[in-house]
């Protein structure tokens, strides 16, 4: 990402952007100034975010996303080391599908492979792999792991120097290592203005990449990491490094893998590494000049084994949790093909989409009582389970909001087996029809109820004018009898029967409601209440109850007595209100069971108060409960 900005301001061909401070500088010096200023600005952004405690953004980086992302990063590093393994001259590429161009260039030159580089790399990889296996197998017996990477580096330097690999076999070596530090340089404010829109996303991506790698090792070694602390550390590092012409600091996956695989687990390891680098730069760097780059590439590739092997988790994820598998693949593949920056953005998008789909299409279920207990579970998962006659218990396992309120209502209708609005409209049509026939004298009142004076054709509906009136509560005024909707109606009027009298909604997992969901819920409850189905809500969070009160959810139809603490309390209240369904009972210990339901408990409701909502235990009538 830094390279893209640098080449935009200082292109390979043509003049650079007109920036004060470029006068008298070579192209390389201009690019160094741009990269240093960009690094400094990234540090300012990261330090500011750390001080403002913005590190919480890392909560959106799930373990699955991090696994897919680090695997893609390992693939990029592996491909970048192939040119050293084969001893080829491959230009660097950046941007989407850069890895494809790199591989195309490598395999286009495969016949020009330097056999000495290839053999050296293979020997080093085999030896390092074998010794690492020994370290893992006998780590309980070894006082410290064998530092095979250091040993192979020393041996490779000696062999390369003795046989003059660079001159005799055209092997690419490390070469001259500077023995001093760069002088500090002030950042260019004009570069700040031109790169601010690039620096901010780069600061976030750089931090996210580093945090992703850190989280992998924090899980492996069981320690905690703080996102805000990491932001402050990276910000300070980039500000200091930018002043000394350094590139933006993020993470070196290969370097981290090498340090971890050699036993480094604390900051002491990093401190020792820094001291060694300092000593090499200032004192003994010349000793590493004959080191073949193929050896470094081989060591890096071997230490990427752990990251690359994360791909074996894909079949496991597919079997256990397919949305997580989609997140892994949706992060890994775009990160490989599009680059780590765009790949991370795509992965976050896929992850958020899976969250949205899980919440938008939750797995609603119908509950029933586990016989002999006060426990209610999904009736599909149990054999010995009891569902009270005429009672339907429906569980909503997610928040209810604008995106899933329609799905929730559809699932609720599927659970009860009918559409309450359709039933209500048919009942209102039927009442209109009955009143009309009575007025015409075609229906008369007899000791057996209403009887038709003549045969009539079967009618299921009449004209649907005044549809809004059909959605209102049924008007039984001027009707000389009470209609039993579950029996055969006169005049061949057909209205679907309703086989439940009580509906219990389990809100235990509902953490919030928005206004759209609140309005939809209110409409749904009224539809059931208007067809004489009692509705109860259990396990509702006090915050939600308070929100319902503030939004004027309660009215003449939806009372403040529908809330109960548990499903069992609501069920006991229903059984007391409908004694005809408690037809059998048994005694077990000190508890009395009716139809398998423990009846030896007090009903617990929620007492409503205008200023607060408190939970109470009571045997009072439902009207005293909210």
The confidence score (pLDDT) of residue 620 equals: 40
Q: Which domains, ranges and CATH numbers included, belong to the chain?
A: 2-320 (no CATH), 365-418+498-624 (3.30.750.24), 421-492 (no CATH)
The confidence score (pLDDT) of residue 327 equals: 94
Q: Is the pLDDT of residue 190 over 70?
A: yes
Q: Which of 359, 358, 394 is nearest to 379 (CA)?
A: 394
pLDDT in tens, 147-170: 888 889 889 999 998 888 888 888
Q: DSSP secondary-structure letter at 562?
A: -
Mean pLDDT of 367-388: 87
Range of weakest confidence among 79-93, 195-209, 604-618 = 604-618
Mean pLDDT of 58-81: 85
Residue with tokens 């207990």: 373
The confidence score (pLDDT) of residue 4 equals: 66
556 Cβ contact partners less than 8 Å away, ≥ 6 residues apart: none
* Number of other residues whose CB lies within 10 A of the CB of residue 363: 10
pTM: 0.72
**Looking at the DSSP assignment, which residues form a beta bridge with residue 578?**
none
Q: Is the pLDDT of residue 621 over 60?
A: no
Helices (H), 10-90: 27-51, 63-86
Greater model confidence, 279 or 314: 314
Rounded CA separation 276/523 (Å): 71
Confidence at 365, pLDDT banded by 50, 70, 90: very high
Rounded CA separation 343/352 (Å): 14
The confidence score (pLDDT) of residue 431 equals: 84
Taking only Cα atoms into account, the Rg of the chain, rounded to an integer number of angstroms, comes to 37
The confidence score (pLDDT) of residue 28 equals: 76
54 Cβ contact partners less than 8 Å away, ≥ 6 residues apart: 228, 231
The confidence score (pLDDT) of residue 366 equals: 93
How far, CA to CA in Å, does 367 sit from each of 395, 396, 619? 7, 11, 25
Greater model confidence, 225 or 606: 225
């Amino acid at each position: 990402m830094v390279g893209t900005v640098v080449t935009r301001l200082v292109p390979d061909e043509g003049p650079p952007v007109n920036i004060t401070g470029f006068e008298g500088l070579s192209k390389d010096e201009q690019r160094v100034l741009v990269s240093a200023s960009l690094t400094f600005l990234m540090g300012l952004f990261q330090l500011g975010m750390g001080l403002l405690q913005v590190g919480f953004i890392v909560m959106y980086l799930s373990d699955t996303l991090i696994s897919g992302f680090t695997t893609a990063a390992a693939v990029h590093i592996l491909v970048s080391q192939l040119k050293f393994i084969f001893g080829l001259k491959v230009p660097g590429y950046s941007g989407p599908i850069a890895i494809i161009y790199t591989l195309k260039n490598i395999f286009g030159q495969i016949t020009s492979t330097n056999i000495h580089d290839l053999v050296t790399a293979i020997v080093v990889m085999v030896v390092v792999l074998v010794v690492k296996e020994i370290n893992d197998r006998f780590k309980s017996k070894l006082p410290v792991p064998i530092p095979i990477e250091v040993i192979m580096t020393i041996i490779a330097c000696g062999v390369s120097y003795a046989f003059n690999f660079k001159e005799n076999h055209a092997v690419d070596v490390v070469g001259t290592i500077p023995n001093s530090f760069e002088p500090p340089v002030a950042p260019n404010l004009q570069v700040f203005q031109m790169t601010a829109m690039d620096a901010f996303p780069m600061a976030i991506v750089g931090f996210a990449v580093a945090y992703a790698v850190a989280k992998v090792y924090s899980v492996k070694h069981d320690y905690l990491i703080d996102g805000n602390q990491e932001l402050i550390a990276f910000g300070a590092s980039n500000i200091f490094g930018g002043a000394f012409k350094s590139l933006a600091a993020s993470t070196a996956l290969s370097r981290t893998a090498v340090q971890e695989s050699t036993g480094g687990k604390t900051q002491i390891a990093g401190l020792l590494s820094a001291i060694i680098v300092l000593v090499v730069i200032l004192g003994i760097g010349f000793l590493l000049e004959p080191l073949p780059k193929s050896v470094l590439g081989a060591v890096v590739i071997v230490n990427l084994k752990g990251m690359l092997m994360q791909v074996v988790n894909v079949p496991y994820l597919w079997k256990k949790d397919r949305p997580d598998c989609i997140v892994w693949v949706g992060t890994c593949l775009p990160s490989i093909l599009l680059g780590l920056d765009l790949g991370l953005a795509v992965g976050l998008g896929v992850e958020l989409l899976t969250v949205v789909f899980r919440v938008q299409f939750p797995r609603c279920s119908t509950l029933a009582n586990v016989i002999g207990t006060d426990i209610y579970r999904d009736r599909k998962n149990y054999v010995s389970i009891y569902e009270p006659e005429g009672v339907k218990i429906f569980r909503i396992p997610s928040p209810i909001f604008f995106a899933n309120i329609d799905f929730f209502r559809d699932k609720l209708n599927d659970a009860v087996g009918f559409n309450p609005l359709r039933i209500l409209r048919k009942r209102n049509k039927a009442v209109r029809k009955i009143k009309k026939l009575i007025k015409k004298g075609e229906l008369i009142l007899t000791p057996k109820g209403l009887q038709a004076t003549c045969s009539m054709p079967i009618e299921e509906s009449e004209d649907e004018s005044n549809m809004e009136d059909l959605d209102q509560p049924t008007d039984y005024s001027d009707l000389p009898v009470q209609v039993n909707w579950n029996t055969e109606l006169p005049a061949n009027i057909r209205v679907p029967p309703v086989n439940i009298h009580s509906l219990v909604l389990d809100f235990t997992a509902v953490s919030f409601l928005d206004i759209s969901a609140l309005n939809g819920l209110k409409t749904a409850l009224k539809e059931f209440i208007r067809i004489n189905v009692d509705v109860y809500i259990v396990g509702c969070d006090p915050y939600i109850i308070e929100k319902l009160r503030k939004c004027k959810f309660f009215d003449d139809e939806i009372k403040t007595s529908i809330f109960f603490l548990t499903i069992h309390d609501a069920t006991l209240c229903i059984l007391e209100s409908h004694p005809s369904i408690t037809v059998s009972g048994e005694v077990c210990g000190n508890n009395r069971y009716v139809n398998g339901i423990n009846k030896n408990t007090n009903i617990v409701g929620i007492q409503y108060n205008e200023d607060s909502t408190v939970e109470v235990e009571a045997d009072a009538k439902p009207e005293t409960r909210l």
